[in-house]
């Protein structure tokens, strides 16, 4: 039984600490959830069990695998094998290979030899590294602990011990994970923020000092409060790093979690629920909403919920939880419509619009752009003006802050001329969206026109949609409804907007933002 370490479906090569390690993969890992990079030699970012199935060492029934650490390389290829599509990666710092384990006699010998070496698994670290922490686990984590009468003083202390062990194993440090703690009871209390401590020792001390509050377990209230207030930049949240809330729940909540779950997802926070001592059959009658876990977690796919039978003997639950919290690519809620879209505006500059109405058009696109988190790793905005001709006012890569984008929109000069909308759509698809089509963001085009186009719009719009761009059409004054519908993505009703007057553009802003968010979420389900 000493021979192999049991790992989860999501354990990656970089989670192992030894040069050669024998591991045991569980059965029935969902194949579509595996992240695997390479073929034969896998980037250490890859899931071990995924790589083992991909290379044919085991099947989805799981089993024993020997993992050998190898140096990093360039150009890990994408290969489809055994139901898993591996992905391309340009370079990674380390790799691993997987083979079948030798027979158990040898395995036991190998293990006893390795245990004879002092301090296996803990490579001597340079003191410098200790401060930096575990750089492979970038996360900003709030532990939302249960401080209600449900849990009581004694189990509250056991909960603190468990959270302390998780915090230590995470490898907190300046460049690693940062953690804070919120206590849920009648009213939530933020005990300490992400910015307060960057060393595991300090965090442990702060956790030991926590005082039990008592009261109802208003977990929903605490979760909503944490999602909204905890992760601000002034409180130490870092840009582009996954935000995570780990909710500890003894028994069940006294309030509703559904709204809090929605708020957390909107704010781009990944919610995990660790439920301890689940309600028994007799107790279920006292639970407001039996599906409370599913309503609160980031995604209802099994990855974000975690169960422990009691607060006693929890040490063995520490490592698998830490592995989940460090699986960067599983944090499906980090991407929100606000921080993961490219929005291109295609603006009619024809002479029928006139100067003062053109200002209203620019205000309209500013107000849409304002709603998004624009940055080099977030959402991006581009604008093209057209008459018979097209002019790229700025492309997706020109400006990476909201201030600069808004100032660029204000400085757009009115062209005045004819109306060739079809040509303009083709131009934008090719020149503005072409360079970003393989990027991580979802692409949207908002076309605004006030009249009949002299050319065909249907063909170019269909080509844009085929290239993965969702099109919203906005018509003013004399824009024919047929053209607007022909340009818009399906369902056309919700992607087509029209107003008689330019002053009517302002009311459309919230609906267009909502439409973009809805399409974004639908594409992620």
Phi, psi torsion values for 17, nearest 5 degrees: -110, -15
Bridging pattern class, strands 84-85 and 38-39: unpaired
Measured at the alpha carbon of residue 431, what is the angle toward residues 428 and 432, in degrees to the nearest 5? 65
pLDDT of residue 129: 61
pLDDT of residue 82: 87
pLDDT of residue 525: 59
pLDDT of residue 3: 65
Question: How far apart are alpha carbons 392 and 346 in whole angstroms?
Answer: 9
CA 286 vs CA 98, 274, 279, 335: distances in Å: 49, 20, 9, 36
Q: Provide the 8-state DSSP code for 174.
A: T
- Signed CA dihedral, 151, 152, 156, 157: sign only: negative
Question: Element (H or E) spanning 72, and its range?
Answer: strand 63-76
Q: How far does CA 108 lie from the centroid of its chain? A: 41
Whether residue 222 contacts residue 252, with contact meaning beta carbons closer than 8 Å, is answered with no
Contacts of 127 (CB under 8 A, 6+ apart): none
Q: How far does CA 508 lie from the centroid of its chain? A: 29
Show the beta-strand stretches assigned E in 165-242: 178-184, 189-192
Burial (CB < 10 A; 0-12, 13-18, 19+), residue 116, is: exposed
CA 17 vs CA 67, 69, 119, 265, 437: distances in Å: 11, 9, 11, 33, 38
Question: How far apart are alpha carbons 390 and 315 in whole angstroms?
Answer: 64
Question: How far apart are alpha carbons 36 and 51 in whole angstroms?
Answer: 6
How many other C-beta atoms are found inside a 10 Å radius of the C-beta of residue 328?
Answer: 16
Taking only the tens of pLDDT, the chain with its 525 residues reads 356 788 888 888 888 878 888 999 988 887 776 788 999 999 988 999 999 999 999 988 889 999 999 988 888 888 888 888 888 888 888 899 999 886 544 333 333 333 333 334 444 444 446 788 888 898 999 999 999 998 999 999 999 999 999 999 999 999 999 999 999 999 999 999 999 998 988 999 999 999 999 999 899 999 999 999 999 889 999 988 999 999 999 988 889 999 999 889 888 999 999 999 887 777 777 777 778 899 899 988 889 999 999 999 899 999 999 999 998 878 888 888 888 999 999 999 999 999 999 999 999 999 999 999 898 888 999 999 999 999 999 999 999 999 999 999 999 999 999 999 999 999 999 999 999 988 889 999 999 999 999 999 999 999 999 999 999 999 999 999 999 999 999 999 999 999 999 999 999 999 999 999 889 988 875
Question: How far apart are alpha carbons 357 and 505 in whole angstroms?
Answer: 10
Q: What share of the chain is helix, strand, coil (3-state, %, to 5)?
A: 35, 25, 40
Report the Cα–Cα distance between both ends of the chain, in Å, rounded: 40
Question: Element (H or E) spanning 293, and its range?
Answer: helix 292-296
CA 181 vs CA 190, 197, 424: distances in Å: 6, 11, 52
Q: What is the set of domains in the chain, with CATH numbers?
A: 5-100 (2.170.130.20), 140-330 (3.40.50.410), 341-522 (3.40.50.410)
Name the pTM for this structure: 0.59
Q: Is 182 helix (H, G, I), strand (E, B) or coil?
A: strand
Radius of gyration of the chain (CA): 27
pLDDT of residue 75: 86
Task: Give the total residue count for the chain.
Answer: 525
């Amino acid at each position: 039984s000493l021979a192999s370490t049991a790992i989860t479906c999501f354990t990656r090569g970089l989670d192992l600490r030894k040069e050669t390690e024998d591991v045991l993969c569980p059965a029935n890992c969902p194949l579509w959830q595996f992240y695997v990079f390479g073929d034969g030699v896998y980037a250490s970012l890859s899931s071990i069990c995924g790589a083992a199935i991909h290379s044919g060492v085991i099947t989805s029934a799981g089993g024993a695998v020997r993992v050998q650490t190898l140096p990093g390389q360039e150009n890990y290829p994408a290969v489809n094998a055994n139901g898993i599509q591996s992905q391309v990666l340009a370079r990674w710092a380390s790799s691993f290979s997987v083979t079948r384990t030798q027979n158990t006699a040898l395995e036991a010998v190998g293990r006893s030899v390795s245990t004879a070496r002092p301090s296996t698994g803990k490579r001597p670290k340079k003191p410098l590294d200790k401060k930096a922490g575990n750089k492979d686990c970038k996360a900003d984590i709030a532990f939302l602990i249960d401080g209600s009468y449900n849990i009581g003083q004694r189990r509250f202390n056991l909960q603190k011990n468990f959270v302390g062990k998780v915090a230590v194993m995470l490898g907190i440090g300046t460049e690693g994970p940062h953690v804070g703690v919120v206590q849920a009871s009648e009213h939530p209390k933020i005990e300490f923020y992400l910015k307060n401590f960057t060393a595991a020792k300090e965090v442990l001390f702060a956790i030991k000092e926590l005082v039990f509050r008592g009261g109802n377990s208003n977990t929903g209230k605490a979760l909503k409060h944490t999602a909204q207030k905890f992760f601000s930049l002034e409180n130490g949240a870092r840009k582009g790093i996954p935000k995570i809330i780990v909710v500890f729940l003894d028994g069940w909540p006294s309030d509703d979690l559904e709204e809090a779950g929605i708020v957390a997802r909107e704010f781009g926070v990944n919610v995990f629920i660790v439920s301890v001592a689940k309600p028994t059959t007799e107790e279920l009658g006292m639970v407001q909403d039996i599906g409370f876990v599913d309503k609160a977690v980031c995604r209802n796919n099994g990855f974000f919920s975690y169960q422990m039978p009691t607060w006693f003997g929890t040490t063995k639950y520490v490592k698998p939880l830490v592995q989940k919290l460090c699986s960067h690519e599983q944090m499906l809620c980090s991407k929100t419509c606000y921080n993961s879209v490219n929005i291109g505006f295609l603006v009619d500059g024809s002479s029928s619009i006139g100067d003062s109405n053109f200002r209203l058009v620019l205000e309209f696109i500013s107000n849409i752009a304002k709603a998004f988190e624009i940055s080099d790793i977030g959402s991006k905005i581009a604008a093209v003006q057209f008459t018979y001709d097209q002019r790229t006012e700025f492309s997706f890569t020109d400006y990476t802050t909201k201030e600069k984008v808004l100032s660029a929109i204000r400085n757009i000069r009115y062209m005045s001329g004819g109306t060739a909308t079809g040509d303009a759509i083709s131009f934008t698809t090719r020149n503005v969206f072409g360079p970003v089509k393989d990027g991580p963001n979802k692409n949207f085009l908002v076309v605004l026109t006030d009249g009949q186009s002299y050319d065909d719009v249907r063909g170019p719009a269909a080509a844009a949609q085929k290239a993965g761009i969702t099109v919203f059409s906005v018509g003013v004054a004399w824009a024919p409804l047929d053209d607007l519908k022909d340009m818009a993505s399906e369902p056309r009703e919700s992607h087509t907007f029209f107003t008689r007057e330019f002053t009517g553009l302002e009311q459309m802003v919230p609906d267009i933002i909502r439409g973009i968010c809805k399409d974004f979420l639908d594409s992620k389900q």
